[in-house]
Structure 1
Amino acid sequence: MTWEVLSMIGTVAFAISGAIIAMEEEYDILGVYILGIVTAFGGGAIRNLLIGVPVSALWEQGLFFQVALLSITLVFFFLNNLLKIWQRWGNLFDAIGLSAFAIQGALYAVKMELPLSAVIVAAVLTGSGGGIIRDLLAGRKPLVLSSEIYALWAILAGIAIGLKWAVTSFELYTLFIIITFLRVLSYTYNWKLPKRFNLAIQAKKRNIES
C-alpha cells in the first residue's frame, strides 16, 4: 500500500507538470490532457515496449489514470490557486515520483530476469521518460538531458537493484529515500553534470547576437 501511495504521488506530480507546461505553451484543453497523461505514463509505456511487457498492462492501472485525469482537471480550472502550492512543493513531488518510478521500472526488469543494462534502461525510462516526451512535445529542450542532474539518480536506482544491493522491502524503501534525497539536494543546490562546449559554435552565437 505504501508503495502504491508513493507511485500515486509521482503520477500526480508528473500529470500536473505536463498540464502546466501545456498551458504555458497555450495548448487547448485537449492538448493539456494529452500532455499531462503522456508525462505521467509515457515513460512506463516505452519501458514496457523495450523490455517486452505488453503495453496493455498500463490500462490495468485504472485508479492511477483516474487520479491523473482529476489532477489535470484541477490544474486546468484552478491553475492560479494551485500554482503557488506547485511552486513550493512541485519539485519534491517530482523527486518522489522519479524515485518511485525508477525503482518500479528496475524491479519490472529484474522480475523478467533481464541483464543489468536493461534494468538500468528500464529505471531511467520509467523515472524520466515521461518528462523527456513532455518537453519534446512542447517543443522544448529536455531538461532531464541538459539542465539538471535527474536521470543520473534513476541510473543509480537501476544499478542498486540490478546488482541486488536492494532486495528486501526495507532495502527498497531505504533506496527510495536516498534517491529522493539526492534529487532534492541536486535541485536545491543547482548541481549540474559537466558539459563540453563547442567553442566555434559559441563564438558563432555571440556573433549572431551582436
Structure 2
Amino acid sequence: MSWDLLNIIGTVAFAMSGAIVAMEEKYDLFGVWLLALITAFGGGAIRNLLIGVPVSALWSQGGLFLIAILVALLIFILPQLFLPHWTRWGVLADALGLSAFAIQGALMASAKGLPLSATISAAVLTGVGGGVIRDLLAGRKPLVLHKEIYAMWAVMAALVIDRFELTNPLHLFTLLGLITILRMLSYYYEWNLPARRLGGDKE
C-alpha cells in the first residue's frame, strides 16, 4: 500500500507541475498532456534503464497514466481553480513529488540488492529526471542544475533508506514528510549549494 500511495502522490504532484509549466508557456492541450506525462514518468523511465528494469514495465501503470491525464485536463479546463494558488501551493506539490519519487526510486534499487551508488542514482533520477526533461522541453534552464538545494534531498532519501534499510510504511512516510519539509525550507530560505562562474559575469 505504501508503494501505491507514493506512486499516486508523486504522479499527481508532478503531473500538476508539468501541466502548469506548459500553460505558462502557452502550450496547447497536447503540449499540456505531454509535459504532464513526461514530468510524472520521465524520471522513472530513465531509472528503469539504468537499474535493469524492463522499460516495458512503464506501460503496466495504466491507472497512473489516467490519473496524470485527468489532472492535466482539469488544470487545462479550469485554470482559474489552480493557477492563482500555484505560487503558494506549487512548491508543496513539487516537494511532495520529489520526496515520493526519490523514496520510490531508492526502494526499487535497494530491493534489487544494488549498491549505494545505484540507490542514489535511482533516487535522484526518479525524483528530478522528469522535471529536468520538462524544463528542457519548455526552454528553461533546469532548476536542479543552478538554483536551490533540490537533488540533494533525493540523495539524502537514498542514504537514509540504504543505511537503515527502511521498509516500514510509518518510517517511509516519516521520511517523506522530512524530505518535503526540507525541500520547502530550502525554497523559502533560498538555500543554495556553492557555485562558481568563469569570467567576471555576475547574476
**How many residues were matched structurally?**
203
Partner of 1:199, secondary structure, is coil
Structure 1 residue 165: deviation in Å?
5.0
- Secondary structure of 2:164's partner? coil
Alpha carbon RMSD of aligned pairs, Å? Answer: 1.7
Q: CA deviation at 1:2?
A: 4.8
1:149 match: 149
Farther-moved stretch of structure 1 (117-126 vs 56-65): 56-65
Specify the alignment match of 1:173 in structure 2. 173
1:53 aligned partner: 53
Query: What residue number does 1:7 align with?
Result: 7
Where does structure 2 lack aligned partners over 5 or more consecutive residues?
A: none
Q: Which residue of 2 aligns with 1:182?
A: 182
How far did 1:113 drift?
A: 1.0
Distance 2:163 2:122 in 1: 14
TM-score w.r.t. length of structure 1? 0.90
* Segments ≥4 residues shifted beyond 6 Å: none
Structure 1 position 49, deviation (Å): 0.5
Q: For 2:127, give the aligned amino acid.
A: G
Q: 1:52 and 1:6, CA in 2 relative to 1: closer, same or farther beyond 3 A?
A: closer
Amino acid corresponding to residue 50 of structure 1 in structure 2:
L
Matching of residues 1-210 of structure 1 within 5 Å: 1-164=1-164, 166-200=166-200, 202=201
Query: What do residues 16-72 of structure 1 show as CA deviations (whole Å, max 9, x unaligned)?
Result: 111111122222221211111000100000000110101111122222111100011
**Bigger CA radius of gyration:** 1
- Residues 132 and 143 in structure 1, CA contact (< 8 A), matched pair in contact too: yes
Q: Judge conservation of contact 1:6–1:96 (CA < 8 Å) in 2.
A: no
Matched residues, percent identical?
Answer: 60
Counterpart secondary structure, 2:197: coil
